[in-house]
Amino acid sequence: MSEELLPKQFVPYVPKKGEEYMSDRQRAHFRSILETLKEELMRDIERTVHTMQDEATVFADPNDRASQEADIAIELRNRDRGRKLIKKIEDTIALVDNGDYGYCSKCGVEIGIKRLEARPTASLCIDCKTLEEVREKQVAK
């Protein structure tokens, strides 16, 4: 996804000197980001549903009808992506709650605050994610 994930009112986290990684304050910061992102996505999905209902028109011209159906298909695809991202956000919030957030799910190292701010749902450190992408490219060839 090329879209920016973070909510617009997001304020970057500045750790205090000597602060432990994924302290209560850091977990609260990321939980807030995730909840805000989830709320924004849910509002966007709801808005899309209402827009689609309001714009539902039966066109006599086959070209107009085809164009409308293509627009609806694109909106439904975007809505499905949003729904999947909401599920991923909910899973990530569960990681925050149980204390596993911020650590790579493959190797266990710290993912890092900056990476998590760029992608709050990240579950892999940059090294594991890079290896995964290289493997995906090799399989695709």
Q: Over the stretch 16-57, which tens digit does the pLDDT of each residue have?
A: 999 999 999 999 999 999 999 999 999 988 887 777 766 667
Long-range contact list for 92-95, CB < 8 A, 24+ apart? 92/34, 92/120, 92/121, 92/123, 93/31, 93/34, 93/35, 93/38, 95/123
Are 41 and 86 contained in the same domain? yes
Q: Check whether 2 has a pLDDT greater than 60.
A: no
What percent of the chain shows pLDDT beyond 90?
A: 60
Are 80 and 139 contained in the same domain? no
Q: Is residue 4 part of a domain?
A: no
CATH number of the domain that residue 66 is part of: 1.20.120.910
Q: Are 47 and 134 in contact (CB under 8 A)?
A: no
Are 60 and 112 contained in the same domain? no
Are 62 and 80 contained in the same domain? yes
**Domain around 141:** 103-141
Residue 119, number of CB atoms within 10 A of its CB: 15
Mean predicted lDDT score pLDDT of the chain: 88
Lowest mean pLDDT among 16-20, 21-25, 76-80, 83-87: 76-80
Q: Are 141 and 26 in contact (CB under 8 A)?
A: no
Are 119 and 60 contained in the same domain? no
What pTM was estimated for this model as a whole? Answer: 0.80
Q: Higher pLDDT residue, 53 or 139?
A: 139
The C-alpha atoms of residue 83 and residue 87 are separated, in whole angstroms, by: 6
> How many structural domains are present in the chain?
2
Are 64 and 110 contained in the same domain? no
Are 65 and 90 contained in the same domain? yes
Reported as type and span, the H/E element at residue 36 is: helix 24-54
